[in-house]
Structure 1
Amino acid sequence: MDTAMAEVPEVETYAGDLRRAVVGRRILDAAVLAPQAVRFPAPDAFLETVRGRRVLSARRRAKFLLLELEAGQTLAVHLMLHGGLTLKPEGAGMPPDVLVALTLEGGEVLLLTDGLGYARVALAPGPELSARLQLDALGPEALDAGFTPEVLAHRLRRRKGPLKTVLLNQRALAGLGNRDADESLWLAGLDPRRSASSLSTEELTRLHHAILSVLGEGLALRGTQRDLFGARGRARHRRNVFGRTGEPCPRCGSRVTRTRIGGRNTFWCPTCQPEQGASPGPFQLPLP
């Protein structure tokens, strides 16, 4: 099982791979090896509905992969923490962690895998799927062209919770995960415990640039997991602070600290990410 997490760069990489290799092909057959992996409909109905449908498009919304199928059906895939997708030749053998398998015309099988068994799929007509998964309630996408510092300010200034918790709230900002939130806050020099509504205009601009820089790096390196074709992405799962408790901060040399915020492990540098009112040390913020 890959230890890297499926966050926006990984899911966006899969979406691009699916557009290249799966869109336009028909699903000839399907198998559900773990019934709990199908959120809805019931596994038998899922199999009956998905068989014979051609895949028309593939896109990402937050950390959902959405495959539009013929006859108005939409297949949603959520990889959770460590799930993955693999495209293999038919007859190549079934790994033990496969949850769902879709046999495509052309002699290949699309496999949803997860050693923890948490990844999920759902299938329904588009509007029903959006309603049941509450996709329309999600916040703006950080990778959209319309995501500006002003949009970020609008989403954060209405919320008084800790900055880290608000960044992980999908209704505030869609898709930012635990790892990339920590890395963005480190890059922007912001304490994850601060109130989201307390940021100045300059701090909001730093955070906006940092989010785009972190996500942009992850995308350019094709994430941290193996892609649809089995090639591992070149991005580092443990980057500057995430997962590096007690190690030296690459910017100032102080020890990276871990704490729990909103029930999530949070990694940060107390020196580079000072409390509100303190002046952060000098650092270079890469352009997105």
Structure 2
Amino acid sequence: MAEVPEVEIITRDLRQAVVGRRFTGAEVLAPAVVRFPEPTAFVEALRGRRVSSASRRAKFILMPLDDGTVLALHFMLFGELALRPTGSERSPSTLVVLGLEGGEELHLTDSLGYARVALAHSEELAARLKLDELGPEALDDGFTPDLLAQRLRRRKSPLKTVLLNQRVIAGLGNRDADESLWRAGIDPRRMATSLSAAEVARLTQAIRAVLDEGLRMRGTQRDLFGVQGLAKHRRNVFGRAGAPCPRCQTPVSHQRVGGRNTHWCATCQPAMAQPELPAQSSLW
């Protein structure tokens, strides 16, 4: 599953292996993958352009080019990007192939076909993808308990729903939200406004710990060079409905909250505020 750690790893790999190189061409195998412009214009506009840098905003990978345009990629749930020798075999899930000078190419794949790309000048791209409406990045140094408390204030919705609102926190996904709430000992169904200052501090620390651990293990997917990340998709509670909680052995609960599959431990994450939980190392 492509969440912030997976996307961040690919972004860092692109800085290492792709920034500074030119695109020699592009091939769109699934036209629906190109949000804008239309596929023929997309291919023409990329040809000969040099990649100036690579960054991440929420789950978007952004690659500014030397003509002022920006190439954006979004993996959705299970998209992947691989750097391969020119002419490599293409899997059935290949959506776009981007040729690079130096005898290599980038393959964007997605078994579900949901991954998307877009290309436009920076202002247009930001407006059409609504990048300026995104909230603060949880991996930034400025992501503090005070900032999180401010973002949660007046949000009269279940905490899990609020954490997945990209206008509140940019890029926090379903898996990492469940894992963060488990670490913090907070029930995902509680109202966002119900958290105490101590709980907000615990949650801030837990979010950073989950994301940092995912980065150290290089995510759950393959990186740009084809190396499998060491993090597990099924972690402490996420995707483990009915399995014993690693902290207390209570069967993990499962429910759809705000339309999203949600997992938590009813004992470790009580419906009402509780004293701080003892430290617990992750299973993965």
TM range (shorter): over 0.9
Q: How far off its partner does 1:282 sit?
A: 3.6
Give the number of aligned pairs.
282
Picking from 50, 56, 73, the partner of 1:54 is 50
Cα gap change, 1:281/1:70 in structure 2, threshold over 3 Å: closer, same or farther? closer
Alignment TM-score, normalising by the size of structure 1: 0.96
Letter matched to residue 232 of structure 2: R
- 2:17 equivalent to 1:21: yes
CA–CA distance in 1 between the matches of 2:154 and 2:214?
29
The alignment partner of 1:56 has SS state of coil
Which of 110, 120, 126 is residue 130 of structure 1 equivalent to?
A: 126
1:32-111 to 2 correspondences below 5 Å: 32-111=28-107
Asked whether the equivalents of residues 8 and 215 of structure 1 are also in contact (C-alpha less than 8 Å), the reply is: yes
Q: In the alignment, is residue 149 of structure 1 matched against residue 164 of structure 2?
A: no
Deviations 1:146-167 (A, max 9, x none): 1111000000112110000000
Structure 1 unaligned spans of 5+: none
Task: Report the aligned-residue RMSD.
Answer: 1.2
1:241 to 2:237 alignment: yes
Is the Cα–Cα contact under 8 Å of residues 247 and 280 in structure 2 kept in the other structure? no
1:285 to 1:252, Cα distance in 2 relative to 1, 3 A:
closer
**1:187 Cα deviation from its structure 2 partner:** 0.3
Partner amino acid, structure 2, of 1:233:
G
1:30 and 2:26 are equivalent in the alignment: yes
What stretches of structure 1 move > 3 A for 4+ residues in a row? Answer: none
How far, CA to CA, are the matches of 1:46 and 1:282 in structure 2?
Answer: 52
CA contact (8 A) 2:185 2:277 kept: no
Could you list the per-position Cα deviations for residues 165-184 of structure 1 after superposition, in whole angstroms to 9, with x for gaps in the alignment?
00000000000000000000
Contact 1:188 1:285 in 2 (8 A): no
Tell me the SS of whatever aligns to 2:52. strand
**Whole-angstrom distance in 1 between the partners of 2:175 and 2:228:** 18
* Paired residue type of 1:94: R
2:180 alignment partner, SS class: helix
Looking at structure 1, the residues matched to 127 and 138 of structure 2 have their Cα atoms a distance apart, in angstroms, of 22
Which secondary structure does the structure 1 equivalent of 2:24 belong to? strand
- Residues 1:276 and 2:248 aligned together: no
- Please, which runs of 5 or more residues in structure 2 have no aligned partner? none
Per-residue CA shift, 1:221-272, capped at 9, x if unaligned? 1000000000000111111000001000000110001100010000100000
Q: TM-score, normalised by structure 2?
A: 0.97
In structure 1, C-alpha distance between the alignment counterparts of 2:275 and 2:103, rounded to whole Å: 56
